[in-house]
Amino acid sequence: MTSRFDQKVNRRGTNSMKWDGVDQLYNGENLWPMWVADMDFPAPSEVIEAVQQEVSRGIYGYPVRSSSVDKAVQSWLKRRFDWDVEPKHLVYTSGVVPTLSQIIKLFTEPGEKVIIQPPVYYPFFKVVTNHDRKLVENPLVYDGDRYKMDLEHLKSVIDKQTKILILCSPHNPVGRVWTEQELHELAQICIEHDLLIVSDEIHCDIVFNGLKHLPTASISEEMRNRTITCMAPSKTFNLAGLQTSYAVIFNSTLRREFQKHLSQEFMNMFNSVGTVAMEAAYNEGEKWLDELISYVEDNVRFVQSFIEEHMPKIKVVHPEGTYLLWLDCTDLGMTSSERKQWLTEQAKVALSNGIVFGKEGEPFERMNLACSRETVLEGLNRLKKAYDVLT
């Protein structure tokens, strides 16, 4: 049976970073882009129609926050995560990374410490160091199969200067969906040391095989009070270019401070078209999303069996969520720069080189599977051809 996601869309010549920026960025030619985290799928038709209607008005003035968008977000969080959030807890922002950056700037002083858990989404490093805050790394532990948080190491790196832990949940790039038990254990340490938790949950909507994403702030009253949750419809519905996101902040002191800060930085405006898209996506995109999750999960299975059969020196780290696949390339015996060169020059496939996610990512590559099966297969065939020459 064919799926709507089987349809291939030509994105070349559309000012797409993924397709039009790839050759220049990777310094190659005719590269097959399976890197940056955006999807090759059009958003749900309901979203496209709502955006078209908004755009057809022809007037793009300053928007005012609408209660219908608030309700759409509130209802989404309740339906998908059984999470009770009031409109007053929401702060609209223009991108999760800018939100993280402003949180670090506001809630820490230069020289204070912020913890991240690599291998992790690479801007987490810069949102800390760009503001002259001290980056503290608590690397995830990999047992050759699955990743875990290293809570003993976490305890050992916290001191009086440590103020914030940035959690990636689900975790890009390793695809972990943190369990309730893991979140409780982490929470205990954060509470004991009075840390603010910044929980980046941008990937929360794409979770596989019956697993459930649990918002960090939902696990206890104490966590509700010390967590800032960053969310967006952008990964879920392919809306990243519309720069629309929000923070959920229950603690009224933190929320007021953050709102005041955004206003002082002149960052309290939001994208009018983006909020229209978000409202339509959350109100009408659920069926599309459920189909998407199952399509991506099939892509994962497809890649996993292809790699097992044809490229056994590459090991797939089984993802629990996200459309990003983490490939353990240790047995290829190349350094990350050798591998990058091999991928660009021989395979002509652009993956995200694991080292950008931290030194722990050295022997890994990240592959984006939010594309049609045909696109996946082209990437795999290119890889296999180069692999066969290599081995």
Ligand X SMILES: Cc1ncc(COP(=O)(O)O)c(C=O)c1O
State which residue, 106 or 334, has the beta carbon closest to ligand X. Answer: 106
Q: Minimal distance in Å, beta carbon 331 to ligand X? A: 27
Find the part of the chain contacting ligand X (CB under 6 A) among 42-50, 90-98, 147-155, 342-350.
Answer: 90-98
The answer to whether residues 192 and 155 touch, using CB atoms and an 8 Å cutoff, is no
Please give the structure tokens belonging to residue 43: 């958003």
* Interacting residues with ligand X between 348 and 377 (CB under 6 A): none
* Interacting residues with ligand X between 167 and 206 (CB under 6 A): 168, 172, 200, 202
The number of residues that bind ligand X (CB under 6 A) is 13
Find the part of the chain contacting ligand X (CB under 6 A) among 21-29, 49-57, 94-102, 179-187.
Answer: 94-102
Cis bond upstream, residue 119 (ω within 30): yes
How far is 261 from 254, CA to CA, in rounded Å?
10
Binding pattern for the stretch 95-134 against ligand X, x by CB under 6 A and - elsewhere = xxx-----------------------x-------------
The verdict on 232 binding ligand X (CB under 6 A) reads: yes
State which residue, 92 or 387, has the beta carbon closest to ligand X. Answer: 92
Q: Minimal distance in Å, beta carbon 245 to ligand X? A: 5
- Residue 333's contacts (CB-CB under 8 Å, 6 or more residues apart) are none
Strands in 35-95 per DSSP E: 90-93
For residue 220, the 8-state DSSP code is -
* Interacting residues with ligand X between 247 and 306 (CB under 6 A): none
The verdict on 234 binding ligand X (CB under 6 A) reads: yes
- Residue 167's contacts (CB-CB under 8 Å, 6 or more residues apart) are 117, 178, 186, 197, 198, 199, 200, 216
How far is 366 from 36, CA to CA, in rounded Å?
9
Find the part of the chain contacting ligand X (CB under 6 A) among 62-70, 142-150, 232-240, 293-301.
Answer: 232-240
Q: Minimal distance in Å, beta carbon 256 to ligand X? A: 23
Q: Are strands 324-328 and 364-368 parallel, antiparallel or unpaired?
A: antiparallel
State which residue, 168 or 292, has the beta carbon closest to ligand X. Answer: 168
How far is 169 from 271, CA to CA, in rounded Å?
25
Question: What 3-state DSSP class applies to 73?
Answer: helix
The verdict on 215 binding ligand X (CB under 6 A) reads: no
How far is 240 from 281, CA to CA, in rounded Å?
13
Residues near ligand X (CB under 6 A): 37, 95-97, 121, 168, 172, 200, 202, 232, 234, 240, 245
